[in-house]
Amino acid sequence: MTVANSIPVLRGAAVTLRPHTMSDVDAVYERCVDPVTRQFTTIPLEYTPAMAAQYVSGLLEASADAISWAIDVDGRYAGTIDLRTLPVDAGAGSLGFVTHPAFRGRGVMSEAVRLVVEHTFDTLGWQLLRWQAHAYNWGSAKAVWRNGFPVPSFVPHLLVERGRAIDAWMSTLGRDDPREPVAPWADVAAALAACRSTGGSAG
């Protein structure tokens, strides 16, 4: 099971998902040194422009098990979203994404997630799409919530970052599941916030 032989262009109303180019390097560097990005990703703290160039050069083509799109808004790099295969016979993938700070709070990532969800289920024909992120990464959770992902489960110590085990949220969307919010955001946020004190499941 492979993702693709090439990187398809996916177009939405305000967002285009396209292959990365080396012209994205400066914006990728800006994203990677942003404090919020550092808080919720495994990006090295001593990040350099050379690292950004190496990172982008590795995303220019799809591999057998991963594909990464640059998120483009009006000709500007707005983030990266990727799809990686999971070893499930029926077809499954994991979803990861990060937004450039200049484009947060504008619904950009929600639309990018929608485009990848449609590509995963309607074009690739896969059955499952999994998302996981640092617990309390509200922006990431809201983007998947808008696209129908169930209320995430709280998983202690799931992620490893810079030598530490990090608590995570995880949710899985099925091919035939509704692709719209499962509950009002206020209810979802309250359930997720409750995990901070209980350490239990939000589902």
Q: Lowest-pLDDT range, 29-33, 40-44, 45-49?
A: 40-44
Q: Is the pLDDT at 41 greater than 90, yes or no?
A: no
Reduced to 3 states (helix: H, G, I; strand: E, B; else coil), residue 23 is: helix
- Contact by Cβ (8 Å): 95, 133: no
The Cα–Cα gap between 166 and 41 comes to: 11
Mean pLDDT (whole number) for 166-194: 95
Mean pLDDT of 69-79: 98
pLDDT of residue 196: 63
- Position 4 scores a pLDDT of 61
Domain around 155: 10-197
Number of Cβ atoms within 10 Å of the Cβ of 173: 23
Specify the pLDDT at position 112: 98
**The whole model's pTM is what?**
0.92
Q: Is residue 107 part of a domain?
A: yes
In a domain, residue 4? The reply is: no
What is the DSSP pairing of strand 76-86 with strand 92-99? antiparallel
**Which residue reads 């946020």 in tokens?**
189
Q: For the chain, what is the domain count?
A: 1
Any idea what the CATH number is for the domain that residue 83 is in? 3.40.630.30
Residue 3 domain-assigned?
A: no
Distance CA 89, CA 173 (A): 16
pLDDT at position 199: 46
**More confident site: 2 or 133:** 133
Q: Is residue 31 part of a domain?
A: yes
The values of phi and psi at residue 29, to 5°, are -60, -45
Beta bridge partners of 133: 169
Which residues lie closer than 8 Å to 16 by C-beta, 6 or more apart? Answer: 9, 10, 71, 72, 73
In a domain, 96, yes or no: yes
Q: Is residue 17 within 8 Å of 9, Cβ to Cβ?
A: yes
Residue 5 within any structural domain of the chain: no
- Domain membership of residue 171 (yes or no) is yes
